[in-house]
């Protein structure tokens, strides 16, 4: 009997060892049932790099602050946390944060990728990062991942990101530095800053620094973006440089401030849009509520409430159902600023509006300064079903300011209106228009805002609709007051009392203005339209 009991004890001990061995194996691999590996400790989090193709789930909040401090296990000679999987393929499994938080991360470096993860080619979701810092001169810096080629979803970050003296073209974002995958339903608060860099381009964004992926959707940034340097800087509340497919239903409330010696392109949503076009590519249902300030000491500045510079080659890029509610300000050697876009090329802007103040300033006389409630400078494309209620102004001579488009070439403006005050320098030679200064086609547009033009130069135009005649204008209305030497209800370039006017290849048909802004010169109405009362026009 005693012998049997001893044998039973040996069997029990062997069984216990088998169970422990099985548990140890589970800690390094997936459970037999296919459930993801649980992460409860910092060491387990660190071990993900040894099996980057597995699936993991965070089972507890983790605080790395002691680990990355001097003397900690992840001090790393002052560089702190080494990003998980910074190699070419990166992390390829699934990391589910399970609504837990990782805090106290500090990571700094000069090469490759900086972030909690280096490169993600899998799925990272449901994770919060807070009270953390990511910094250095590396090419890609982000809180969740330096580079994302997979999916980042339902993640938030409240931290500081700092780019210092980049040695190469750099991209930094609140969630990821460079994205070629998808970023969905993510948010960032905190600050992103960039300093230095004399010969390398920088792309700084509240969510993504440089995007060339499948989409950024339902993301919000409330963090401040502040970038300075001596070379090109692209900065945006959501993406600094956007060459991907779509930005959809995103919002920025953080201030975007950029100052550089070279070209600056800044936007409430995207700083620079560079698309080899597809009609399906665009920015949709996005909102900017953060101030945008762009300053270049010797270069050109493009600033917009949605996009600073929106350029498309091939088919047309879309900006639809977007809005700006904050101040957009630009100063440089040349200045193009708009409530929606500073410059647009082959872009269709539809069902969008601006409520914020738009102001452009140039440092050198005779350089371009073009300001619009919707677009500063428009090359091709169209603005349709859109409006401006913000004040648009410039303090420089030679500027062109208008309620919809400052200046347009081969463009169309259709079914738009302005109620904001449009003004140029009173003693200068700027032109002001309720809808545009010049445009290719303008149809079904009206102005009810105050238009303030030059009181000195008679060759500078002030008009309720188009300061200098469009190639084609139809059904234009003006009920706004005007000041200036040469002013007219619809346009200043033509003189006729007829409804249909063809002169110098310009057609103006069935356009109206209030009697208060009409006057006869040499027996002809200088508005190229009929006089109606305000109520008649309504």
Q: CA 225, CA 248: separation in Å to the nearest integer?
A: 21
Q: Residue 216: its pLDDT value, please?
A: 98
Q: CA 185, CA 203: separation in Å to the nearest integer?
A: 21
Q: pTM score, two decimals?
A: 0.89
Pairing of β 358-362 and β 113-114: unpaired
Q: Residue 534: its pLDDT value, please?
A: 65
Instruction: At 162, give phi and psi (nearest 5°).
Output: -135, 125
Q: Residue 431: its pLDDT value, please?
A: 83
CB 408 within 8 A of CB 438: yes
Kindly tell me the sign of the dihedral angle through the C-alpha atoms of 77, 78, 79, 81: positive
| Neighbouring residues of 101: CB distance < 8 A, sequence distance ≥ 6 | 61, 62, 127, 128, 129, 130
Tell which CATH classification among 3.40.190.80, 2.60.40.1120, 2.160.20.110, 2.40.50.140 matches the domain 52-537.
2.160.20.110
Q: CA 439, CA 469: separation in Å to the nearest integer?
A: 7
Backbone dihedral region for residue 249 (phi beyond 0: left; psi -120 to 50: alpha; all else: beta): left
Q: What is the dihedral of CA 182, 187, 193, 198, to 10 degrees?
A: 10
Question: Where would I find the H helices in 327-453?
Answer: none
| Neighbouring residues of 69: CB distance < 8 A, sequence distance ≥ 6 | 75
Low-confidence residues in the chain, pLDDT < 50: 1-32, 455-460, 494-505, 522-527
Instruction: At 339, give phi and psi (nearest 5°).
Output: -65, -30
Q: Residue 442: its pLDDT value, please?
A: 86
Nearest to residue 271, comparing CAs of 299, 237, 295?
237
Q: CA 340, CA 349: separation in Å to the nearest integer?
A: 9
| Neighbouring residues of 480: CB distance < 8 A, sequence distance ≥ 6 | 418, 434, 447, 448, 449, 450, 451, 464, 517
Backbone dihedral region for residue 98 (phi beyond 0: left; psi -120 to 50: alpha; all else: beta): left
Helix (H) or strand (E) holding 396: none
Instruction: At 424, give phi and psi (nearest 5°).
Output: -120, 175
Residue 453 DSSP symbol? -
Q: CA 514, CA 483: separation in Å to the nearest integer?
A: 15
Q: CA 339, CA 511: separation in Å to the nearest integer?
A: 26
Side-chain half-sphere exposure of 381, counting CA atoms within 13 A: 30
Nearest to residue 305, comparing CAs of 292, 314, 296?
292
Pairing of β 405-409 and β 422-423: unpaired
């Amino acid at each position: 009997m005693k012998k049997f009991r001893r044998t039973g004890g040996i069997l029990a001990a062997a069984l216990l060892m088998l169970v422990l061995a099985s548990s140890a194996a589970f800690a390094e691999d997936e459970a037999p049932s296919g459930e993801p590996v649980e992460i409860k400790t910092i060491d387990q989090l660190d071990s993900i790099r040894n099996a980057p193709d597995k699936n993991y789930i965070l089972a507890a909040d983790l605080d790395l602050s002691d680990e990355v401090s001097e003397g900690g296990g992840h001090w790393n000679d002052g560089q702190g946390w080494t990003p998980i999987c910074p190699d070419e393929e990166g992390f390829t499994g699934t990391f589910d944060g399970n609504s837990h938080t990782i805090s106290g991360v500090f990571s700094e470096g000069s090469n490759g990728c900086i972030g909690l993860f280096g490169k993600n080619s899998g799925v990272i979701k449901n994770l919060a990062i807070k009270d953390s810092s990511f910094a250095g001169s590396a090419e890609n810096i982000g809180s969740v991942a330096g580079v994302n080629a997979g999916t980042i979803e339902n993640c938030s970050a409240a931290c500081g990101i700092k780019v210092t003296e980049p040695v190469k073209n750099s991209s930094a974002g609140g969630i990821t530095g460079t994205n070629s995958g998808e970023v969905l339903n993510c948010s960032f608060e905190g600050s992103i800053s960039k300093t230095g860099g004399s010969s390398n381009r920088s792309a700084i964004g509240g969510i993504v620094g440089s995007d060339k992926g499948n989409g950024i959707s339902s993301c919000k940034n409330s963090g401040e973006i502040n970038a300075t340097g001596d070379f090109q800087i692209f900065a945006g509340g959501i993406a600094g440089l956007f060459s991907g497919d779509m930005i959809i239903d995103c919002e920025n409330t953080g201030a975007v401030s950029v100052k550089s010696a070279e070209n600056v392109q800044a936007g409430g949503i995207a700083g620079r849009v560079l698309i080899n076009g597809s009609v399906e590519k665009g920015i949709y249902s996005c909102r900017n509520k953060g101030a945008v300030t762009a300053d270049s000491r010797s270069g050109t500045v493009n600033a917009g409430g949605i996009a600073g510079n929106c350029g498309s080659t091939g088919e047309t890029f879309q900006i639809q159902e977007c809005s700006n509610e904050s101040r957009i300000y630009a100063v440089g050697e040349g200045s193009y600023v708009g409530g929606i876009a500073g410059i647009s090329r082959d872009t269709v802007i539809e069902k969008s509006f601006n409520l914020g103040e738009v102001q452009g300033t140039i440092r050198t006389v005779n350089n371009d300064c073009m300001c619009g409630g919707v677009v500063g400078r428009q090359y091709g494309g169209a603005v349709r079903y859109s409006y401006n209620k913000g004040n648009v102004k410039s303090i420089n001579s030679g500027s062109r300011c208008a309620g919809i488009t400052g200046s347009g070439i081969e463009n169309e403006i259709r079914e738009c209106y302005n109620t904001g005050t449009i003004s140029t320098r009173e003693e200068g030679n700027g032109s002001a228009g309720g809808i545009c200064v010049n445009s290719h086609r303008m149809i079904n547009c009206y102005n009810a805002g105050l238009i303030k033009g030059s009181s000195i130069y008679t060759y500078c135009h002030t008009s309720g609709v188009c300061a200098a005649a469009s190639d084609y204008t139809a059904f234009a209305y003006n009920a706004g007051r005007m000041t200036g030497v040469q002013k007219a209800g619809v346009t200043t370039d033509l003189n006729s009392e007829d409804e249909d006017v063809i002169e110098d290849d310009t057609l103006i048909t069935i356009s109206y203005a209030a009697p208060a802004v009409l006057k006869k010169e040499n027996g002809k109405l200088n508005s190229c339209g009929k006089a109606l009362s305000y109520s008649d026009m309504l």
